[in-house]
Amino acid sequence: MFFFTRKLSHSKLVQLYGVCIQRKPLYIVTEFMENGCLLNYLRENKGKLRKEMLLSVCQDICEGMEYLERNGYIHRDLAARNCLVSSTCIVKISDFGMTRYVLDDEYVSSFGAKFPIKWSPPEVFLFNKYSSKSDVWSFGVLMWEVFTEGKMPFENKSNLQVVEAISEGFRLYRPHLAPMSIYEVMYSCWHEKPEGRPTFAELLRAVTEIAETW
């Protein structure tokens, strides 16, 4: 993680300041984000956040992911639990423990490696293939988390049931706080084939256009 986060610098990524490795336990010094984990923030403020704020959260994360995509990095664990919220409610991407730099936008993980099933597209749980387009799928699930104010995706399904459902074409429902324009963006992230999904640059344009009309 140290190698990757020292090389990455963007206003929507949590900044790493240093690592103390002289003795155990290791200490990692990062930017302090006063409002903590996004998932907890959404749940603790349920019913208090306007739709404009929820969209702003998605826009912040999309900006950070567009930067990673543009620079050849795959996050591989994008979810609300891995984003942090500042005192001014700016949201930044954190937890780069699974992040990889790739030259051809594809990374094949070793079989048996753990990954978050409920945030993962078919090519990950079937073939362990990661790309910026697998991050796009996860971003769609993250948007769903945001507009449900922190619900667990596929909350009544086991991991095996999720794999079966996704393989059969099942997708997450539209949250009641999400207008159809937002759900269409989410849904576009869940195309069965990676090449059928938008890039983060395209997602950022779409989210920004929606924000400008609200």
CATH number assigned to the domain comprising residue 205: 1.10.510.10
Domain contains 169: yes
Quick: pLDDT tens for 16-29: 887 777 888 878 78
Predicted local confidence at residue 1, as pLDDT = 46
Domain contains 26: no
Helix axes 180-188, 200-213, angle to 10 degrees: 180
When divided into structural domains, the chain yields a total of 1
Quick: pLDDT tens for 183-205: 999 999 999 999 999 999 999 99
Predicted local confidence at residue 3, as pLDDT = 45
Which residues does 73 contact at the CB level (< 8 Å), separation at least 6?
4, 8, 99, 100, 101, 102
pLDDT exceeds 80 at position 99: no
Domain contains 75: yes
Active site residues: 77
Quick: pLDDT tens for 36-82: 999 999 999 999 999 999 999 999 999 999 999 999 999 999 999 99
Domain contains 199: yes
Compute how many other C-beta atoms are within 10 angstroms of the C-beta atom of residue 167: 12
3-class SS shares of the chain: helix, strand, coil, % to 5 = 45, 10, 45
Any idea what the Cα angle at residue 169 is, between residues 208 and 189, rounded to 5°? Answer: 15
Domain contains 24: no
Domain contains 12: no
Range of the domain at 172: 34-213
Q: Which of 132, 130, 124, 144 is nearest to 71 (CA)?
A: 132
Buried b (16+ CB within 10 A) or exposed e, 17-35: eeeeeeeeeeeeeeeebeb
